[in-house]
Amino acid sequence: MKGMRQTSPSPTLPRWRELISSPQRGEVGRGESVSGTVIIGMGNPLLSDDGVGVAVAAAVAERLKHRMDLTVTELHTGGIRLMEAMAGYKRAVVVDAMLSGAPPGTLQRFDPKDFVTTKNTFSSHDTDFATAYELGRMAGVPLPEQVSFWGIEGREFDLFGERFTDEVAAALPGAVNRIVAEIMEWEGAV
C-alpha cells in the first residue's frame, strides 16, 4: 500500500526493541530489514534555519506519498534516537541543518561511511550516529540497507521563529528535488 505515515519513536519503548521482540511491520526478526522508506527530518522548527530538515522531510514525503510506502519522522536529536527511528526500514533519508562554514543554503549529501556530524545528529548526552548505528547492527537491530544524510547549511539558529533565512528558503526546492530523485532511484522508479 502506498501512502505516508507520520511517526515518532516511542518515549517508553524504543522502536527497535519492539521490532525484535514483537514484529510490527511484517515478519521481522533479529537482523532483518522490512520494506519502506523513512524520511527523518532533524531539528527544531521553532528556531529559524534549524527547522529546515523537518520542512524538507515533510515536503519530500508529500511529493511522494502517492507513489511509494513512506514514513516521515521528526527528531530533535541524533545518536541512539536516530538509529531507533531507522529500525525496520529498508531505506532511510536524514535531513538536517548544518554548520560547516559553507555559504548558507549549501546542500551536501553524505554517506554513513563518510558521515560528518550535522547540527542535531550529535549530543553530549548520547553517542554519535556512526557509533549508534554500529551498536544497533551488533545488537541485531533491523537497520536500513540504504542510508543517506543531507545537510543544508544554515545561517540563523538562535532566533525564535518559523521563517528560514532567505538563503535557506531558496535552497528548499533544490533539496527536495535532489532527495526525491535519490529515493526514486532507490525504488527503481526512475
Write the DSSP assignment of 38-75 as a string of letters.
EEEEES-TTBGGGGHHHHHHHHHHHHHTTTSEEEEEEE
Contact 126, 79 (CB under 8 A): yes
What is the structure's pLDDT at 177?
97
Highest mean pLDDT among 62-71, 86-95, 132-141: 86-95
Confidence of residue 39 (pLDDT cuts 50, 70, 90): very high
- Helix 52-64, helix 166-187: angle, nearest 10: 40
More confident residue, 165 or 46: 165
pTM for the predicted model, two decimal places: 0.76
What is the structure's pLDDT at 112?
72
Read off the pLDDT of residues 98-145 as tens digits, 9 standing for 90 and up.
988 899 999 999 877 666 555 445 555 557 777 788 888 888 999 998
pLDDT for 179 beyond 90: yes
Confidence of residue 5 (pLDDT cuts 50, 70, 90): low
What is the structure's pLDDT at 4?
53
pLDDT for 95 beyond 70: yes
Kindly list the domain boundaries of the chain, sorted by start residue.
3-187
Q: Say yes or no: domain 3-187 is CATH 3.40.50.1450.
A: yes
pLDDT for 149 beyond 60: yes
Best CA proximity match to 153, nearest among 84, 52, 14 = 52
